[in-house]
Amino acid sequence: MKVLIKKVNPRTEYQGVISDFWVNVQLKTGKLVQLFDCEPFDLRDYENVKIECLVLAFMAKDISNNHIEELAHPHLEGNIIRDYEIEKKWVDIHNSLNDHRRYWSAVETLDGIFLIDPGDLKLITIKEKNRISFTVGRLDLLAWLPIEK
């Protein structure tokens, strides 16, 4: 999926070392969401730059509708892909993808494809035979490539 990085904020810092970041991005439809960068890739030099990325969407569990922040907990809706093959370019970037399965579940939205954990499928509202809808607990940035700089 392609996104525009709007703002990158350090999340956890200890003794001057930043171990993860929140990355605010704009999706293709204009929606703003927050990605968790736990690698950390440290994309502070890429603010206002478009990137291509691989994102994992975790399902929200026990989030009250009164307290949902759209940036951190967006609603996703789209077609389910039960056997989405991770492209080799992403496996080469994110070493831990080598340790996991090559095929994942995913949801194809207007903004692009979000990976989802197959174990989370039971938490999703299935609207039609291949349409799903859910609130995100967290979006993790798994891998990225620059489009422009």
pLDDT tens readout for residues 19-54: 999 999 999 999 999 999 998 999 999 999 999 999
pLDDT tens for 60-76 read: 876 655 555 788 889 99
- Structural domain harbouring 19: 2-146
First-residue to last-residue Cα distance in the chain: 17
pLDDT tens for 109-142 read: 999 999 997 778 776 667 677 888 888 999 999 9
Question: Angle CA(25)–CA(30)–CA(35) in degrees, nearest 5?
Answer: 20
CA distances from 32 to 13, 18, 80, 89, 143 (A): 25, 24, 22, 26, 19
Count how many domains the chain has.
1
Q: Residue 99 is inside which H or E element, if any?
A: helix 96-99
